[in-house]
Amino acid sequence: MRALRHSKDWRAARRLIYEGGMTVAAPSHPLPLAAFALATLAPLPLIGLGVLWGGVWLWAAFLYMGVLTILLDQLIPMTAGSADGAEFPAADLLLVCVALGALTGLPVAVWAIAGPSGLDAGDKVLLFFAAGFWLGQVAHPAAHELIHRPRRELFRLGAAVYVALLFGQHASAHRLVHHRHVASAMDPNTARAGEGFYRFALRAWRGSFLDGWQAETNRREQAQGHAQGLHPYAAYIAGSLAALGLALLIAGLPGLLVWIALALHAQSQILLSDYVQHYGLTRTRRADGRLEPVGPRHSWNTAHWFSSALMLNASRHSDHHANPARPFPALRLPPAEEAPRLPWPLPLACALALMPSLWRRAIKPHLAQWRPPASPRPGAARQDTAP
């Protein structure tokens, strides 16, 4: 670490940060799986100790999720390279550990906040935000990876995490709607240029629920003659009702309200990620009326190493859309000239998106490089549709 701080690479990258540039000139090294494990799992013991003793442990968990990630991205400017051709047999094991941590940690957090845990009001607030950030920024990327796995038990585990977060429809809508229609008006989870996050969130939640339902129904109709079980949405809804019943058993009405609040907190971060990662990017229509294929230019990426480790390389979004089944440690970061790249870590970009007018001003010059030129309507003057 000391050698890195005095190296020419460090000084050059630090100068880029101070001048407002991206850290793309920083040294590049593939992240080992241990780095992903440490980044994603470290908050769990902090939260667990905080449930027991409160105080400094909860402050540590909160600052880890809310501050440390962004600081490390900026203070240690390393762009994580790609581990081309590498095998990651333990990658799925890490995903399982994170998912099980979410399924056990959520009811524990509800008990600690709404039940007789002995924590004072300040500790409960810290626990709420620390647990909510971890569920939205770590458990969600893990569940997202799991629902793309071909093994049925891994898919069901990922779906169970979303069901516990009262967002089970994401397991269907993300795979069947978002990946097919991304960067087009047919995808409810692609934010339009100039659209504020809060308006997008309402549209995306409702749209993904309905479109995912229709996509699953269509699949069942096309599979006539084959054995079919319960409609996935019936399982999502039943599972969410069971989760809320568990909340009532844990701490009565306060437990129910806290479970819903934590779920909404995590859902907001899921929707923020969708909002930021495709904001304003659109696929053009060909002469035959069909949309161009999904390419690297239809997703925003980031080159920040620690937030990438924390979020299981979710910030390498172009490669994920090109290769949904690729293990997260092997996802590649496209060159900046081939795919849009945000100048901020993904968690910071999501925080910025909570202030729509500030977000639009900040993203406008970056979006302008990747937006196709607007086609003027006949008889009308050409208008700039960029925010």
DSSP string, 263-289: HHHHHHHHHHHHHHHHTT--PPB-TTS
Binning pLDDT at 50, 70 and 90, where does residue 25 land? very low
Taking residues 125-136, report their average pLDDT: 97
Return mean pLDDT, the chain: 87
Residues 6+ apart with CB under 8 A from 343: 20, 21, 22, 366
Secondary structure of 292-360 in HEC code, one letter for each residue: CCCCHHHCCECCCHHHHHHCCCCCCHHHHHHCCCCCHHHCCCCCCCCCCECCCCHHHHHHHHCCHHHHH
pLDDT score of 12: 43
Q: Mean per-residue pLDDT for 248-267? A: 98
**Helix H or strand E encompassing 150:** none
pLDDT at 126 over 80: yes
Q: How far apart are CA 89 and CA 73, in angstroms?
A: 27
DSSP 25-47: TS-EEEPPHHHHHHHHHTHHHHH
Using the predicted structure, report yes or no on whether residue 14 has a pLDDT greater than 50. Answer: no
Residue 384 pLDDT > 80: no
Least confident of 5-19, 256-270, 305-319: 5-19
Query: What average pLDDT does the segment 167-172 reach?
Result: 97
Q: What pLDDT, on the 0 to 100 scale, is given for residue 10?
A: 37
**Residue 30 confidence (pLDDT):** 72
Question: What average pLDDT does this structure show over 52-75?
Answer: 92
Say what the pLDDT of residue 1 is.
39
Tell me the pLDDT tens digit for each residue of 179-222.
999 999 999 999 999 999 999 999 999 999 999 999 999 998 88
pLDDT at position 171: 97
Q: What is the pTM of this model?
A: 0.88
pLDDT at 281: 96
Q: What is the 3-state composition of the chain as percent helix, strand, coil, each rounded to the nearest 5?
A: 60, 5, 35
Residue 190 tokens read as 């692609």
